Structures are given as C-alpha cells and as structure tokens.
Structure 1
Amino acid sequence: MTPQKKVQEHGSFNPHNADDEHDYLLKNYARFPVEFIRGEGAYLYDNDGKEYLDFLSGIAVTGFGHNHPEIKSAVDNQLNQLWHVSNLFESGGQKTLASKLAERSGLDYVFFCNSGSEANEAAIKLTRKWGKERSHIITAIGGFHGRTMGSLSATAQFKVWNGFFPLTPGFIYAQYGDMDSIENSYGKDVAAVMIEPIQGENGIILPPDNFLKNLRDFCDEKNILLIFDEIQTGIGRTGKFFAFEHDNVKPDIVTLAKGIANGLPLGAAICSKKVGDVIKPGDHGSTFGGNPLAISSANKVVDLIDEKLLQHISDAGEKIVQSIISLNENSIKEVRAKGLMIGVEFNEKVSAKSVSAELLNNGVITCTAGENVLRLLPPYIITELEIIKFLHKFAEVLSIIKLGR
C-alpha cells in the first residue's frame, strides 16, 4: 500500500515525479498521481483499492465501461484464434465492420487505422488525391484534429502548434459556426472543409442552428468535400450513432476512433464512392490498422448500439444537464451538451481544473477542456443511481471549493 496522494489542480504539479527516479517515460503528459489497475462497469480501482466513478470513459473511449462481458468475450475468442496478419491478405472481420459502418453512415468505403490522428491523416490524403490541383482544406479555429504533423496543422490552435513549426502547408482557418468566415476563406485552391460537428477539446462547443446544413449546401455549390471529424462525437456519444444525424446532413468523409473499439486501438475514415474511387493500391496503408483484436471489439460495439441505447444516452445526458442547472450554482456560467458529451463552463469564481482535481480526490474521474470547462463523458451504460452519485459528489465538491476560497 502506498500513501494516498491528494491531487491538486491538474497541471500544477511537476510531471517529473521526484518519487520515481527511474521513470523512463517521455514527459509529454501532466499525469494525475493515480494509477488504475482494474475496472468494472462504470468504475475504476486504483492500486490502493479505492473506487472511482468513471465520468470520463478514457476521454470518450470506453462507452461500454470496463470489462464489458460481451465485448470481452468477442476479444477473448479472437485472441485464441489470430492476433495479427498483414493487410496484404483478406480480412473477413474488417469487411463485416466496414459494411456496418457504411450502412450506418450512408457512405461507401472504409479505411482502418489505429487512432483519430491517423484517421484524419487519411481524410487529408483522400482529399488531396480527389482534389488533384486543389489541395487546400478549410478548418475551424478552436478545432482539434490530432498531433501528427498533418492533423496538427489542421488544428487551428497556437498552443498545439507552438514548438513544432514549420507547419504542413495547405490549411486555411475560419471561425467555427460562422458561414461568412468560411465563405470568405474559400478560394480556387480549396478542396474541402473539415470540421467537428461539436468541438470537443475546445470545451463542448455546439454549432449554431442550421450551420451544418448550410455548410453542406456551400460545399455542394463549390463542388468541394465536406469532412466531419467525429473522433469524439461518433459511435453514439451524442445520442445518435453519428453526430451529423442530428442535422440530417451527410458528409463526403467522416472519421472515427475513440469509442469505436471500447479501448482497443482502432480508427476509421469512411468516404463516399466519388472520393474512394480515386484511391489505388499503394496510395495509403497501415501495418496495424484493422488489427483482428480491435476489429473483433468494434464489431461487437457497433452491434450493441441500438435505438434503445441511443435513447438512454440522450435521456441520461438530459438528466445530468438539468440536474446541474437545478443546483442554481452561481459559479456555473453555462452547461452545454448533446447526449453524454457534456461541458460545464465556470465563471471566474471557480477553476474547472480545481473542480476536476477535487472530484478525483472524492472518487469521480473527469477532465477539463477549453476555457474553464469541466468535461463529462460518462459511459453509455451509466445508471440512474450512478448519475445520482455523481450529482451528489459534484455538489459536495463545489461546496468544498467555495468554502476554501
């Protein structure tokens, strides 16, 4: 047993842990000083046996919680058959999953990779191959598309760019939710607009009414592609399988990762026939993309997402939002949400980082995003009793923080 460390505001402690002289991990994460060793359902357990209610889901990854019996069974079965085979050979599991994703999206072709950044890199390459002499892509300020050089360059945030110049050329940045800004960014070299239907890392920023529809119309008018980055919003997180379904809009390319395999590494770029038909063997690939273990998990995940579950996600999200609003807490500026993708923005009286750290001390896992926003991403399997438990802890933590001011 190790002494329990009280977590301070995230990022306020030195990631170079003085207690561990032989930590050879690169210091690219400001980690909370907590290690989880086991999970079950909506709960995680640290190496001291302390229980934590997981309202983060590995940042929108483990939608079905931890150690889900049906997903575990699917992966166990695959583990006993085949772990890896080159993409030079046929894969029935990939074909099955691709057909499910094509049917759900209304699109035609699927490329499998290992992460969201890789999926967005694939979308960029598809766009440039399709666009021929047109190579530029309009993206939104405040958006987040990844940390590889192409996806990082698509991400219009200086804090992400800083230290990594020169950026990959070919990106134009416009204001999110502002059609005038996007239209003014258009030029003859533009091949696509790439955008998150809801900005996640920027603090759960929802688009204005009709924005996605107007964006679709604009792309059609200019004969350019519409790309939706659904790395965080996809796979049921918002109460629809794809977030773009809320607006009855279909993209030319949509990218997925995070929740697609409930914790195993998998990403996907799904595209229309007109885009996919420009690709020939050798244009793109991935050694580990579509790994049999990840595919087995993803096939089960997709099968488990039915209308009943999607309604539960919507209802659970609404209950959390309305319950937080009903607290009448004057430190809360706004609550923004779609399904179980929730952002609680605080005013200057309270730090979201302090709230997240104190919640962790009290056995609830969350994180922050954007400007002073507490991000809540509970698993889809969350129960009413677990929601009540979270709300009790949340109110308790706000009281503790106010008393400590």
Structure 2
Amino acid sequence: MTGATGTGADVLAASAGSLRERFEAAFMPNYGVPPVVPVRGEGCHLWDADGRRYLDLIAGIAVSSLGHAHPALVEAVSRQVATLAHTSNLFVNEPEVLLAERLLGLLKAPGRVFLANSGTEANECALKLAISYGRNTGRKYFVAAENSFHGRTLGALSLTGKASIRDQFGPFPADVRFVPYGDADALKQAVTPDCAAVFLEPTQGEAGVVPPPDGYFTAVREICDATGALLVLDEIQSAIGRTGHWFAHQHDGVVPDVLTLAKGLGGGMPVGACVGFGNAGTMFAKGDHGSTFGGNPVAAAAARAVLDTIERDGLLEHVRTVGKLLADGIAAIDHPLVSGVRGRGLWLAVVLTADRAADVQAAAQRAGFLVNAVQPDAVRIAPPLVITAEQVETFLAAFPAILAEVTP
C-alpha cells in the first residue's frame, strides 16, 4: 500500500513496521516512534498490526477503565452518535446535564461542573478559577509540588514541577512556588494569606505513582483553611475507581475546593471535568470560560456508561481486591532488581533498584505484557478496572522471567 490516504481496511492490512515508518514520516517527532501498533482490543487484551496479542496493563495511561470494546461503552457511544453527536456550548444537551448531576451525586458535596476534553483543559479551568479568586481577594501566587504533573499547556505547565518538560518553555504566566510532595511543614511555610491556591495530586502519577504520607492531606486541608487558599486536587489519573474509591481524596476524608478529572472518566473517549465546590463553583461569570467540544454528548454518554458500569458491576471492591493481589504478588517477588511496590488499587509502580525501567518495559512487551516505564526506576501498572484475578496471576507468573531477561 502506498500514499497517505488509505481506507480503514488499508490501515488494518498494513504491517506494524510499515505503520511505524509512516507515523515517523507524517507526525511531529515529540513522541518518537512508539514500538507497538495496536489495531484491535477486547477486554484487557490488545492485538497489534502483526496479530500479536498483549495483556494491557497500562490501559491507555489509566484511561480505558472498562477495557477495550466493552459492550456498555460501545452501546452508549453508538446510540448517542446516531442520535446527536455535537451541539457546542451554544445549546444544552441532556447527556452533559446527566453527567454533571451524576458526578455531583458521587461527590456528595454541593458544587458546579465544567466539562472539557482532557485533563490539561480541566486544569486550565481550575487555574482560571484560582486566578479569579486571587484577583478578587488580592492574592498573588500559587503553590504546587515538586515532580508534579498537571498538563502541557502553558497554564497547566506553570503548575507542573518536572523541570525536564517545563524549563524549556518558560517564562510562565503564573507565579508558582514548588515544595516537596508530602512535606506538610514545607507546605505550611510556603502558603501564606497571599497564596491564592494550592495544586496537588492525591497521588503523584507521572512522578512514579507516589502516594502521600498518612495524614498529609488532612494537614493540607487545615493549612488551606487557615490561610484562605483554595485547595485544588488534580485527580486526572487517580479518580473514577482507579484506587478503589470513586475519588482518591476519599481515602483521606477531605473535600477540595476544586477537583479536576479526565482519563478514566470517558473510558477511552476524550472528556475532562473541573468541579468547583461551594463558592468556587460560582466564581465564573458568563463568558469567562468555554469550550467548543466540552460537554460533547457522545463523550458525556460514554462517561455515564463508565460510571454506571463501575457501580453496577461492583468494580470499586473488585479494584481493591485484585489490586491487593497484584501488589502482594509483586512484593513477594525476590529479585535484586525489585525493591518494592507502591500505589493504591489498580494504580501501582514496581520500584526498581536501578534505572532499568525502560528495559523492563521492553522485555515485558516481548513477553506479551504492556507496562510503562514512568520513571527510570519505576514501572507503572494501571490495567483496566475489569482485569481478572486470573489475568493478574498470568502476569505475576511471567514477571520473574521478564526481570531475569533484563538482568541475566
């Protein structure tokens, strides 16, 4: 096949090698050339363009909550796209209203919702809320955590504490001061009555799935309450059942002022949400913010199908049970390259004793398992929430040989 305008059938008939070559020729080089070319998925498995099957233990970076081609998601999206695919924010559509109401019901706190298309857009909305709050109250700066990740647009990148992706794009539009994650004393020193908002992840995802110390978020909430700063929690990766609760902040029993969501909410469809609680939910005036595609009825229908399925199928308890099986199994592996496992639910990192995560990822791929080298010394595992105990056991049985391949 030649040319760049082949049909879907043409694409599926192409080999993985030829598709990677065409990808490299057609796309900007910011992703490099990914090694796997998936063309079909079912449940927790993916098949590549050469017909090889993989157990998907990364789920599109914690996105595919229900796995691949889940009947509930297929039915919801198919029905909605055949009825009404798009309206814009000039009109109200029922699916977006139902989704917003459903989220507020799960959060069990009075608030208002803004729907977007991605996590970084949800965080842009949160930042604009915090800027509005700061201007109204005379507050001038923000606080975020070192090694945090909140997105790649300039506003969200202002809040991101990863120098490797941040420094080359400054200066930034917001004054953000960074403190070590999990250090309540450092946070207390940084947050004064001049601070408009504190932006944190309930567990740091791109830093290597790093949970907070016990009691940290209780202290964070107290610090924000004492100074009047807004508490903004970025749950782009941690919410929608990923840690065994609907929202990761529920582990700590705190309620933020602003919450951001995306990834697993749509189960594979692009959707994000920013939720403002109390006064933070009514801070915008008409015209202060918007999105052409935010609240798209197809994405909203997909998100509702995800939420309904998680509840109907008891997936929160399932995540806790199978996640413990996975974490305990990794912890029991006696290998010099493995120092431990961290995380919650089905959002874990295998912590290594050396910077060999990329090698482990490659060896796992060769063995038919997709994992992610999230940090040089940490391998992220975030499978679909529907993964079975048997599938987890398959990976655990294969993992020692994967490690042995990396360290012969």
The TM-score with structure 1 as length reference comes to: 0.93
* In the alignment, structure 1 residue 335 sits paired with structure 2 residue 341: yes
For residue 13 of structure 1, what is the aligned residue in structure 2?
A: none
Question: CA 1:284–1:4 in 2, change beyond 3 Å: closer, same or farther?
Answer: closer
Give the direction of change, closer, same or farther, for the CA distance of 1:312–1:21 in structure 2 (3 Å limit): closer
C-alpha distance in 2 between matches for 1:82 and 1:2: 33
- Counting aligned pairs with the same residue, the percent is 38
Does the residue aligned with 1:163 lie in a helix, a strand or coil? Answer: helix
Q: Please, which moves more after superposition, 270-279 or 64-73? A: 270-279
Is the partner of 2:34 in helix, strand or coil? coil
> Runs of 5+ in structure 2 lacking a partner?
1-12
**Corresponding residue SS for 1:71:** helix
8 Å contact from structure 2 (residues 16, 49) kept in 1? no
1:1-400 matches, cutoff 5 A: 19-20=21-22, 23-105=25-107, 106-131=109-134, 132=136, 133-306=138-311, 308-348=314-354, 351-400=356-405
Q: 1:21 to 1:296 in 2, by over 3 A?
A: closer
Aligned alpha-carbon RMSD (Å): 1.8
Which residue identity lines up with residue 149 of structure 2 in the other structure? F
Q: Residues 127 and 135 of structure 1 are in contact (CA less than 8 Å); yes or no, is this contact kept in structure 2?
A: no
- Cα distance in 1, alignment partners of residues 81 and 395 from structure 2: 36
Distance in 1 separating the partners of 2:101 and 2:61: 27
In the TM superposition, residue 3 of structure 1 has moved relative to its aligned partner by 7.6
Shift of residue 202, structure 1, vs aligned partner: 0.2
Q: Which has the higher helix share?
A: 2
Deviation sequence 1:367-396 (CA, Å, 0-9, x none): 112341000001111011111111122121
* Deviation (angstroms), 1:33: 2.5
The alpha-carbon deviation at position 189 of structure 1 amounts to 2.5
* Counterpart residue type for residue 332 of structure 1: V
Distance 2:377 2:256 in 1: 31
Decide whether aligned partners of structure 1 residues 64 and 285 sit closer, same or farther in structure 2, where only a CA change above 3 A counts: same
Distance 1:109 1:22, change over 3 A: closer
Partner of 2:3: none
Shift of 1:48: 1.0
Give distance in 2, aligned partners of 1:226 and 1:152.
18
SS of 1:221's equivalent in the other structure is: helix
Query: Residues 398 and 61 of structure 1: is their aligned pair in 2 closer, same or farther, counting only changes over 3 Å?
Result: same
SS at match of 1:241: coil
Question: Paired residue for 1:12?
Answer: none
The CA deviation at 1:23 is 1.5
Amino acid aligned to 1:158: A
Contact residue 309 and residue 380 of structure 1 kept, 8 A: yes
Larger mean Cα displacement after TM superposition, 257-266 or 384-393:
384-393
SS in 2 for 1:305: helix
Distance 1:104 1:2 in 2: 44
The 3 A distance-change label for structure 1 pair 22 and 253 is: closer
Kindly indicate whether the alpha-carbon contact (under 8 Å) linking 1:63 and 1:259 is maintained by their aligned counterparts in 2.
yes
- Count of aligned pairs between the two proteins: 391
Cα distance change, pair 93–54 in 1 and its aligned pair in 2 (3 A): same
| Kept in 1: contact 2:193–2:228 (CA 8 A) | no
Residues 89, 4 of structure 1: CA spacing in aligned structure 2 closer, same or farther, 3 A cutoff? closer
Q: Secondary structure at 2:29's aligned position in 1?
A: coil
Equivalent residues of 2:193, 2:227 under 8 A apart: no
For residues 130-161 of structure 1, give each alpha carbon's deviation from its aligned partner in whole angstroms, at most 9, with x where no partner exists.
23221421100011000000100100111011
- Which runs of 5 or more residues in structure 1 are unaligned? 6-16
Q: How far 1:30 moved relative to its partner?
A: 2.6
Name the aligned partner's letter for residue 224 of structure 1. A
Answer whether contact 1:203 1:371 (CA < 8 A) is retained: no
